[in-house]
Amino acid sequence: MLSALRRPDPPPLAVPDGQWTALPAPRQVRLPRAVRVAIAVMVGCTLLSLAALGAAGRARAGQPATGRWLGFATLVAENYVAGHQLQVPLAAGLDPGLGRLSQAASSGQLPGMAPASTALVPLPVVHLAPMSSTDVARGRDTIETDVFGLELTDGTLLELAVVVDGTPRGPVLADVPSLLAGPAASPQRPPVQSGVPAAQAQEQLPSGVVAQVGRWAQAYAADDEQTLYELTGDSTPRRYVGLGGFHVVGQPTVLSSTYATRSGRPPAQVVVTVSVEMAADANPGLVVESTYDLLVTNVADYLPNVAAWGPPGSGPQLVPFQNGR
């Protein structure tokens, strides 16, 4: 009965041979111009957002970025090389003339006596430009290290590292700026990072460490590559360069020393923060004070190794042989 009620299928469409009927072309829908513009804007914004996220990720991965306190650091760098008193907030223990770019007044001065007066003089810099900024959070503060490239009048290329403590009340210069050797040829050099105060604990250093620190300072100021290479203990043929054109005045001052306890670093290593005064060979009256963190290894040996160095605060990130080129 159900089969009797079912509607019969329609007969197949018979098309004579050679008589095909062309289907009509689909109708083109053209969106209004305003809609097309809106879609293009949305797509462009999406692409820009993706690019910004990628750039932020690269910056977090250690790529050079613009520091929050770069303007403050630039002011410090410009006044440092110009030999001006620093009229900026300073960390405890620092004074406005911390650059120590000084011309000693030697008239009537007896040997061994302190200079009667000093006059700040400029460093012979013809070009100063920011190179990179890195920062590390430390509690409520952010410790930022801004590195500037310097070109001297004789063509020498140096770096100047300025460490800024970004406090809730604003930026404060954390330590004396550091003159460093010029940029490395390899772009893979690890970025300088700071974040732990250099003066954590004052330890009694073995006499061998003190002697090697003094030897490092002399070699670094004079760009004695052979001595720097020997001091590191590196067995791979690489170059270790210093500033050049300077010589150490007096003895380097050890400001602090902290035996490393970080996982993976044996206690035979110590981070030493040292202040070095250097006079320019071409102008011995030009005296520059600079502060460095040194990673000293094999502390118990008669001649320990100065395996790495960087600006103040970089001690926790120093890795043996990282200065090799």
Kindly list the averaged pLDDT for each block of 10 residues, start to end, along the chain of length 325.
52 51 54 64 58 43 61 89 84 74 50 54 83 75 87 85 89 89 47 34 70 94 94 92 90 79 60 89 83 90 91 87 92
CA dihedral sign, ordered 247, 199, 315, 193: negative
CATH topology of domain 70-108+117-185+193-317: Nuclear Transport Factor 2; Chain: A, (3.10.450)
Hey, where are the domains in the chain? 70-108+117-185+193-317
Dist CA 257 CA 283 (whole Å): 32
Token digits of residue 30: 């053209």
Token digits of residue 261: 């306890």
108: left (phi over 0), alpha (psi -120 to 50) or beta: left
Distances (CA, A) of 119 to 60, 122, 265: 42, 10, 44
Looking at residue 147, the DSSP 8-state letter turns out to be E
Looking at residue 281, the DSSP 8-state letter turns out to be S
pTM summary value: 0.57
Q: Identity (one letter) of the amino acid at 180?
A: L
